[in-house]
Amino acid sequence: MERPAPAGERPDFVVYMCPSWTRGYRILRTWRDKGDRTFRDFDRLLRTVRDFGHVGPVTVYSFDCPDLVKFRGVLVRDGGGKEVPRDDTSTFHQYRGEEGR
């Protein structure tokens, strides 16, 4: 998903994935859950998604896309409809390219 950027700057991208162990989408987070993992370079984002083993298509939504409210788990600040309660399995964590460590 493309997040808006101040005028003259490149936008940031965040990754939402739909894991098999839960319903809805979960945002990729940094190590120790310190924040959302953001990317300024789309090629690096795509390599990270491929490192997770995803070989299918990657869809990019802009921040203001009205379809985002339909997706369970998309954060309200990213245009989602409602927050999903957080627990230890609610987000993807990134550590040296591996999730869940």
Q: What is the pLDDT of residues 49-70, one digit of tens each?
A: 999 899 999 999 998 899 999 9
Q: How far apart (Å, rounded) are the C-alpha atoms in residues 78 and 62?
A: 9
Residue whose tokens read 């690096």: 44
Confidence of residue 46 (pLDDT cuts 50, 70, 90): very high
- Residue 1's SS3 state is coil
φ, ψ dihedrals at 67, nearest 5°: -70, -15
pLDDT of residue 87: 53
Q: Where are the domains of the chain?
A: 2-99
The pLDDT confidence band at residue 22, using thresholds 50, 70 and 90, is: confident
- pLDDT over 90 (residue 28): yes
Q: What is the pLDDT of residue 63?
A: 86
Average pLDDT, the chain: 82
